[in-house]
Amino acid sequence: MGAKAKKALKKNMKKIAASAAASSQPPLPQNPKPSADFLPLEGGPARKAPVTTKPLESKATVLYIGRIPHGFYETEIEGFFQQFGTVKRVRVARNKKTGKSKHFGFIQFEDPEVAEIAAGAMNDYLLLEHMLQVRVVSPEDVKPNLWKGFKCHYKPVDYVQIERKNHNKERTLEEHRKMLQKVVKRDKKRRASIEAAGIDYECPELVGNTQPAPKKIKFDED
DSSP string computed for 107-169: EEES-HHHHHHHHHHHTT-EETTEE-EEEEEPGGG--GGGGTTTT-------HHHHHHHHHHS
Residues in the chain, how many?
A: 222
Cα–Cα distance, 18 to 25 (Å, whole number): 11
Q: How confident is the model over 65-92, as a mean pLDDT?
A: 92
> 35 or 144: whose pLDDT is higher?
144
Note the pLDDT tens digit of each residue in 166-204.
Answer: 889 898 999 989 988 998 899 889 889 998 998 888 877
Secondary structure in 3-state letters for 9-72: HHHHHHHHHHHHHHHHCCCCCCCCCCCCCECCCCCCCCECCCCCCCCCCCCCCEEEEECCCCCC
pTM of the model: 0.48
Report the percent of the chain where pLDDT is more than 70. Answer: 67
Q: For residue 117, is it left (φ>0), alpha (ψ between -120 and 50) or beta?
A: alpha
Which of residues 151 and 54 earns the better pLDDT score?
Answer: 151
Q: Which residue has the higher pLDDT, 140 or 218?
A: 140
Q: What is the mean pLDDT of residues 38-65?
A: 68
Q: Is the pLDDT of residue 84 over 90?
A: yes
CA distance 94 to 111: 27
Residue 49 φ/ψ, nearest 5 degrees: -70, 135
Looking at the chain, the number of H-run helices and the number of E-run strands are 5, 6
List Cβ neighbours of 78 (8 Å cut-off, separation of 6 or more). 87, 90, 107
Q: Are 72 and 24 in contact (CB under 8 A)?
A: no
CA atoms within 13 A on the CB side of 69: 11
CA angle 184, 190, 195 (to 5 degrees): 125
* pLDDT band for position 55 (cuts 50, 70, 90): low
Average pLDDT, stretch 155-159? 74
Amino acid 204: pLDDT: 78
Classify 61 as helix, strand or coil. Answer: coil
Confidence of residue 219 (pLDDT cuts 50, 70, 90): very low
Of residues 124 and 210, more confidence is placed in 124
Note the pLDDT of residue 136.
Answer: 94
More confident residue, 10 or 170: 170
